[in-house]
Structure 1
Amino acid sequence: MLVSPFDVPAVALIGFVGAFVYARFLKPRNPDWYPFIGVGTVGLFWIHAVLAVAGVSPLGVDVDNSLIGVAYILSYPMWFRWASERAFVLFGRGSEQGGIAWVLRVRDTTEGFEPDWEKE
């Protein structure tokens, strides 16, 4: 069975960058885009995996045990989720959160919010 060894690092990198872009720019306007980013990314890489198994993709490496290859291909959503969780911890889940990197910034880039007790 042919699998691409570059798929998991690419899925993780796209998951990290996609989570950062979602939290900073997309969540305030479109809060439901995170699943679309994940499904789209994993879907594209699964299509690439099918092409690698078919022998169309030149980035294939032969795996002797097909079960290991299938487990590798089915692990793409977990790698996407793992990388996006690292980005959420580092940068925050939304524009109102700063994440761990918040303490390293010179100016505060988080958006303020009105507490519930002030609305009454």
Structure 2
Amino acid sequence: MNLLPKFVAAAVLAMVSPANAFAQHVPSTVHSVSMRGAVVHAARGRIVVCVGTADGAHAGQELSVYRVSQSQHGPKGRPAFRRTPVGTVRIDLVLGEHFANASVISGTVELNDIVELRRP
């Protein structure tokens, strides 16, 4: 099924309608995640995540942590990727627009893991 005509129509509506018009016509673009970033430093018990004030981060928020893995071949010979929950971190100190120090609450967190804050 070709979704391009629906996508173009939704984009045009979004330009002349309220901001949520796009989401109403293309439901696959609506996510339950309000903040997403990556672990950019994980060593000696120190975690730094790539979320900051520009993302709405503040101390005390708890973020779910996921690790991406790849299998050799998925359907039709393409690589297949999988996200696996591996833990939770809490933001201790926001370091500016793009970064924050965090503590591991549960699990094991590694460099390049994904962190997400779910919408309530």
TM normalised by structure 2 equals 0.25
* TM-score normalised by L of structure 1: 0.25
Higher relative contact order (Cα pairs below 8 Å, separated by 6+ residues): 1
- Structure 1 or 2: more helix by fraction: 1
